[in-house]
Amino acid sequence: MNSAVIRIGFSEFPPARMGAEPGTERGTETELLRELCRRMGLRPEFVHAPFVRNLKFMEDGYIDLMIGVLRRPEREKYMLFLDPAYSGDIRYVFCLRKGEQTKLQSYEDLRGMVIGTTNGAKYFPQFDDDDSLNKDAVRTVYQNVEKLLKGRIDTFIGEEWMVKFVLKRKGLENAISMAPYRFSRPQDVFITLSRQSQFLARADEFSGQIKAMKEEKVIEKLSREFIKSITLK
């Protein structure tokens, strides 16, 4: 008997989610999703789209599941956040051109800067809700890196481990630096189900498997194995 197919929103977010073409998906969170689907008896089908479009796909029921989602009231209207969170360790940094990082010592220093963000992403409430900041959204972190180097933005925000990975892989550690100011309070990160999904009735089962994987330290093991399997350039 063939396994049921579950459609999963996929947007690149290295090293958690990598692979621009269907069939090339890999990454720490990608391996976590594959293991979750295996335990649930489901076959994952990754739907490639920018993060913000995947949010709309979840609202419409075009896809069933997403990963890497922060809990926000407006999102809970169309997504079920599967407890427990699979991660609670998330730190945001701001990147500037080498030699300029001391310009950003505090949150107030963001005022007057053009700040690169990613479409549809949430960071931390103070930043997300601050309409006085000049935010310039693009689809990927790679676009923010390019715009920073060309002087089209003053800084960009990103998760610390992702930023370090991208800068090392691109050989830009001597061109871009992280500012002293950063946001480091823990935030829970979730796997979510669309409230339109046929799999919503199995939400408790999904949560049970996520809890079991956390207790068995499967998530940490998969992350270590994946990071070891790739060569940082």
Question: What digits encode the pLDDT tens for the residues 130-165?
Answer: 999 999 999 888 999 999 999 999 999 998 888 988
pLDDT at 232: 44
* pTM of the full structure: 0.76
Reported as type and span, the H/E element at residue 183 is strand 176-183
> What tokens appear for 67 in the block?
């990963």
Range(s) for CATH 3.40.190.10 in the chain?
A: 4-88+187-229, 92-183
CATH superfamily of this structure's domain 4-88+187-229: Periplasmic binding protein-like II (3.40.190.10)
CA distance 152 to 136: 10
Question: What digits encode the pLDDT tens for the residues 9-29?
Answer: 999 888 889 888 888 999 989
Span of 106-115, 200-209, 216-225 with lowest mean pLDDT: 216-225
**CB under 8 Å, gap of 24 or more: what pairs does 29-33 form?**
29/67, 29/68, 31/222, 31/223, 31/225, 31/226, 32/67, 32/86, 32/213, 32/218, 32/219, 32/222, 32/223, 33/8, 33/65, 33/67, 33/191
Banded pLDDT at 230 (limits 50, 70, 90):
low
**Residues ≥6 apart with Cβ < 8 Å to 117:** 123, 135, 136, 137, 138, 144, 156, 157
Beginning with the edge strand found earlier in the chain, give each strand of the sheet holding 42-48 in spatial order.
Answer: 42-48, 4-10, 65-70, 189-194, 79-81
CA nearest to 9, candidates 62, 74, 60:
62
CATH of the structural domain 92-183, one choice from 3.20.20.70, 3.40.190.10, 3.40.50.620, 3.40.50.300: 3.40.190.10
CA distance 133 to 71: 22
CA distance 169 to 12: 15
